[in-house]
Amino acid sequence: MSKIMSKYFTPEDSALLLIDHQVGTMQLIKNIDVERAKRMSLALAKTASILGIPTVLTSSQEDRLQGPLLPELKDILPDAFDKRVKREGIVNAWTDANFKAAVEATGRKNLIMAGITTDVCLVFPAIDAVSEGYNVQAVMDASGSPFELSEDMSRRRMQDAGVVLTATNTMIAELAQNWSWLDTGKDFRNLALSPRFADH
């Protein structure tokens, strides 16, 4: 039976985990438009920057086909980019001691997760985090897989384990709740609703 979250995520109790959003791995996405997945990933990063949400970035074998992290992440979250966890071939980021330590250091129990690819890089850490008492929302349009079948199976596995599936606009709205209290309200609304926000 799936575990149901008891409350909404807020900027004060959440952390953002972006797993393997690398130039090479992005090209493996076939189930949704790659540029859309990129825009949504960068929107999450911008949201974290605006709201002060701690962010953990991780990459795998940047010197191989996976390539470097998306360069835009360095502009949006320079500190998190510099402190990114570079994994050497470990598939499940949750089993990487440095990654898990970085997550624990945020002090947050609500984890917003996205990964490229869903069927390899997101599914396992999302499930493991829930099993260790974290609340996890997986942002599906900031993730993606090479095949619709493997994407679907991964979604089912995550949901069965208690991971809540969501989408970028829904996640941003959940975190903001009320646009009016933000000094950057107009820009924030544009970020949440514009299909081209990553170009701004």
* Catalytic residue IDs: 121
Q: Are 26 and 33 in contact (CB under 8 A)?
A: no
CA 22/CA 37 separation, integer angstroms: 12
CA 152/CA 130 separation, integer angstroms: 19
Compute φ and ψ for 140, nearest 5 degrees.
-80, -25
Q: Hey, which residues does 86 pair with through a beta bridge?
A: 59
- The CA-atom distances, in angstroms, between 189 and each of 50, 59, 165, 174 are 12, 30, 22, 13
- Written as one letter, the residue type at 45 is A
